[in-house]
A and B are shown apart, each in its own frame.
Chain A
Amino acid sequence: AQSVTQPDIHITVSEGASLELRCNYSYGATPYLFWYVQSPGQGLQLLLKYFSGDTLVQGIKGFEAEFKRSQSSFNLRKPSVHWSDAAEYFCAVTTSGTYKYIFGTGTRLKVLA
């Protein structure tokens, strides 16, 4: 079955520290991968996406993600976290053969001053 796993429910980092949020997917076809961010009570904002080509993709707000096909992973990274990055982060996958996105259960990021 198609699925997305975000192993970390909560992550706490200090402001200025680096960040890595993990995402693993299980999908039969070539995946299109996304990271979205959701602030409390808000909708989802697209951070970045991978369709094909360079496996390291850059997004907004200084985020990047790396697609590793051999590990079925698409981890999100940021070199230096800001207090405003505190939010919930969702990894999602789709493919050219469907109109449905499958989302992980999210990782809630807390940033310590």
Chain B
Amino acid sequence: DAGVTQSPTHLIKTRGQQVTLRCSPKSGHDTVSWYQQALGQGPQFIFQYYEEEERQRGNFPDRFSGHQFPNYSSELNVNALLLGDSALYLCASSFAGAGNTIYFGEGSWLTVV
């Protein structure tokens, strides 16, 4: 049973560039959430996708956008990268429904230089 998989594992981008991170949910899950974890901090909720729609968003600017595909996989896009966007980006999947347990992938390390 495959868990949550994310790609790429590491990447380096330059300020002002755009980045796309990818996530495949755990088998059977239909909901994907994205979190940002800065160094020394706990994960911060970016948004959640269900039925190909964003259904809740955290306190992140519009530079952060996402997409969910019919096979439930998801992408996180960040435009106009800032140095402060350097972080571990975590994808988590779950069954639909508020309060359901979320399961995390290994994350994508983004460094902005």
Given A42-B106, A99-B48, A51 and B42 touching (CB < 8 A)?
Answer: no
Task: Chain B residues near A44: list those with CB within 8 A.
Answer: 43, 90, 104
Residue from A96, A103, A104 in contact with B99 in the complex, judged by beta carbons closer than 8 Å: A96
Contact between chains at A100 and B104 (CB < 8 Å): no
Given A99-B56, A100-B45, A105-B41, A34 and B101 touching (CB < 8 A)?
Answer: yes
A80 to B60, CA, bound (A): 41
Within 8 A of A (CB), among B45-70: 45, 48, 55-56, 58
Bin chain B's interface residue count: 20 to 34
Task: Check if B98 is an interface residue, CB within 8 A of chain A.
Answer: yes
Given A90-B42, A90-B43, A101 and B102 touching (CB < 8 A)?
Answer: yes
Task: Chain A residues near B31: list those with CB within 8 A.
Answer: 99
Contact between chains at A32 and B58 (CB < 8 Å): no
Task: Chain B residues near A34: list those with CB within 8 A.
Answer: 101
In the complex formed, the residue of B with least CB distance to A104 is B42
In the complex formed, the residue of A with least CB distance to B33 is A99
Mask of A35-52 contacts with B, CB within 8 angstroms, 1/0: 010000111111001010
Contact between chains at B104 and A43 (CB < 8 Å): yes
Given A42-B106, A99-B48, A94 and B90 touching (CB < 8 A)?
Answer: no
Residue from A43, A45, A46, A105 in contact with B101 in the complex, judged by beta carbons closer than 8 Å: A46
Give 12 new A-B contacts, CB below 8 A, not counting A44-B90, A46-B103, A94-B99: A4-B42, A45-B104, A49-B101, A51-B99, A96-B99, A98-B98, A100-B48, A100-B56, A100-B58, A101-B33, A104-B42, A106-B41
Residues of B within 8 A of A (CB): 4, 31, 33, 35, 40-45, 48, 55-56, 58, 90, 98-99, 101-107, 109
